[in-house]
Amino acid sequence: MSRLLYQGVEGVPDISESLLSSMKISHPERAQRAEGPALSETDPKLREECGVVAIHGHPDAARQAYLGLYALQHRGQESAGIATADGLHLANIKGMGLVSEIFTDDVLAKLPGQMAIGHTRYSTTGDSALLNAQPIRVDSTKGLIAIAHNGNLVNLGNLRSRLERDGAYFQTTSDSEIIVQLIAHSHANSLVDCIADSLSQVDGAFSIVMMTRDRIFAARDPRGFRPLSMGRIKNPDGPDTIVFASETCAFDLLRATYERDVLPGELVMVTEDGVTSRQYASGIPQSSCIFEHVYFARPDSRIFGRWVQESRDEMGRQLARESGVPADVVVPVPDSGVTAALGYAEEAGIPFRFGLIRNHYVGRTFIEPEQRVRDFGVRLKLNPVRNLLEGKRVILIDDSIIRGTTSRKIVRMVRGAGAKEVHLRISCPPTISPCFYGVDTPRKRDLIAANKSVEEIRRFIEADSLSYLSLDGLLKCCDGGEHNGYCTACYTGNYPTQWVDVEDILPAEVSL
């Protein structure tokens, strides 16, 4: 049974206060990240930090939010939460674990109301993670507000100290609470003005859903880093249900129709009277995260105006055009390399085969820090299909090389299964710089491509050849969506915001 945190739930003691007093919030997450590697050897993928969902005008809003979060589980598996409101009360339940582990029928029954927001999150573990799980519910001078946030603010240090000087008391170390405190301290006239005022003061990446006792808000940062879409469920007997989600795959499970994306710099408000919207910021060049198309988002989602499946298929095709090599079989590193590998195989006219099988039932309990377990990490997750690989020249398709150690294990595994040649192709450019906008990346000194040439990496991973997709090629594959720019900072080091953590971008030579 997951440990849960209840706030404002009828018949259940509100345990947030006792938790608050027993928890030491002494290490902001950023500091924790700086102390050790963010990614374990057993789970070396870059990780998204959140998915959000909001529901307005549904008799069982909590269950709808649950379904939405279920579809967004790939965006974060460490904690999840749902807050609901019925016009009078605003209840919130969150816990550590998967959405389906936390929200049983009994738990959902404690969340009445026609409105809901939900959040699923990848985070560090421990008590502070439960406290920082979202939605965050704050009883502010503007009334009860619940907020759920996908992304990362980059000017939070300055804002936090200014707010603390003004008397703000923070319950968590989360970026999202800064937004609520800014709302509470705003002198603007109406709540919606206060929210617009607060959003215009924060810099960085945020796709936000927010709820008061009787309203839902959804907003995206002015650069549109993270996706956020709006959909509608037609109700023949009453007003439509309005839904928001990080990705449109959530709409399919809710049987909602995609209506449009929330625009960069837009604040949307949904009340009983309908949907209204305003631009709280404009004129800032868009920089949507291109890595959403490469890896994070599900292929069955449409983000930034494009189908992810189409982008990935095109990345594979472009990779084949840029760095084709004679081979007998194209093999994806599952699951994320599959769509690009299909595109590559079709373009190159080489058979596609599932030569590596992923074990989907590896529990999180295996992700332990002991070296003994670490060495088994890749083998626990992947197993080669010997009869497909033996004696073959194999093209392996993956979406990134972070430290290089996992890629080397996979190359060794394929060769150990009898492959004659192993050629690794990566469906994006080399990752040379960390992300500050909501993706958990190691520091620059730990990124292999920041410290070695492609040839040196090839030798390290023991492949017969190694090629990455070019930046121009990647941009071409993701073109034609919102017709605006992409953030490519992890491939170029050119950050679209001023505020970055200098410590995180020091190259290896300086740190040694």
Contact residues for ligand SF4, defined by CB under 6 A: 225, 289-291, 435, 437, 439, 487-490
Q: Which is nearer to ligand SF4, 198 or 488 (CB)?
A: 488
Determine which one of 50, 194, 428, 477 is catalytic.
Answer: 50
- Hey, which residues does 216 pair with through a beta bridge? 211, 270
- Type of residue found at 510: V
Residue 108 CA to residue 162 CA, distance in Å, equals 38
Alpha helices in 349-470 (DSSP H): 371-374, 377-381, 386-389, 405-416, 448-451, 454-461
Residue 91 CA to residue 7 CA, distance in Å, equals 6
How many whole angstroms from its chain centre is CA 363? 20
Residue 82 CA to residue 67 CA, distance in Å, equals 11
Residue 225 CA to residue 249 CA, distance in Å, equals 18
Q: Which is nearer to ligand SF4, 408 or 444 (CB)?
A: 444
Give me the least distance between CB of 141 and ligand SF4, in Å please. Answer: 33
Q: Which is nearer to ligand SF4, 266 or 504 (CB)?
A: 504
Q: Which helix (H) or strand (E) holds 53?
A: strand 50-56
Residue 222 CA to residue 202 CA, distance in Å, equals 10
Q: Which is nearer to ligand SF4, 138 or 450 (CB)?
A: 450
Give me the least distance between CB of 38 and ligand SF4, in Å please. Answer: 13
Give me the least distance between CB of 434 and ligand SF4, in Å please. Answer: 7
Give the sign of the dihedral formed by CA 357, CA 464, CA 40, CA 288. negative
Mapping DSSP to helix (H, G, I), strand (E, B) and coil, where does residue 384 land? strand
Q: Which is nearer to ligand SF4, 289 or 319 (CB)?
A: 289
- Hey, which residues does 409 pair with through a beta bridge? none
Q: What are phi and psi of 156, to 5 degrees?
A: -70, -30
Give me the least distance between CB of 491 and ligand SF4, in Å please. Answer: 7
Q: Which is nearer to ligand SF4, 217 or 437 (CB)?
A: 437
Q: Are strands 229-233 and 241-245 parallel, antiparallel or unpaired?
A: antiparallel
Tokens for 47, please give them: 């990780």
Q: Which is nearer to ligand SF4, 107 or 402 (CB)?
A: 402
Query: What is the CB-side half-sphere exposure of residue 121 using CA atoms within 13 A?
Result: 28
Q: What are phi and psi of 450, to 5 degrees?
A: -80, -15
* Dihedral, 141, 142, 147, 153 alpha carbons, nearest 10: -70
Q: What is the largest CA-CA distance in the chain?
A: 73
Give me the least distance between CB of 487 and ligand SF4, in Å please. Answer: 3
Q: Which is nearer to ligand SF4, 270 or 289 (CB)?
A: 289
Residue 506 CA to residue 392 CA, distance in Å, equals 41
How many whole angstroms from its chain centre is CA 320? 28
Q: Which helix (H) or strand (E) holds 244?
A: strand 241-245
Residue 127 CA to residue 96 CA, distance in Å, equals 9
Residue 116 CA to residue 93 CA, distance in Å, equals 11
- Hey, which residues does 356 pair with through a beta bridge? 384
50 carries an active-site annotation:
yes
Residue 81 CA to residue 99 CA, distance in Å, equals 8
Give the sign of the dihedral formed by CA 373, CA 125, CA 248, CA 290. negative
Contact assessment for residue 76 and residue 48, using Cβ atoms and an 8 Å cutoff: yes
Q: Which is nearer to ligand SF4, 50 or 65 (CB)?
A: 50
- Type of residue found at 330: V
Q: Which is nearer to ligand SF4, 350 or 487 (CB)?
A: 487
Query: What is the CB-side half-sphere exposure of residue 178 using CA atoms within 13 A?
Result: 23
Contact assessment for residue 104 and residue 67, using Cβ atoms and an 8 Å cutoff: no
Catalytic center residues:
50
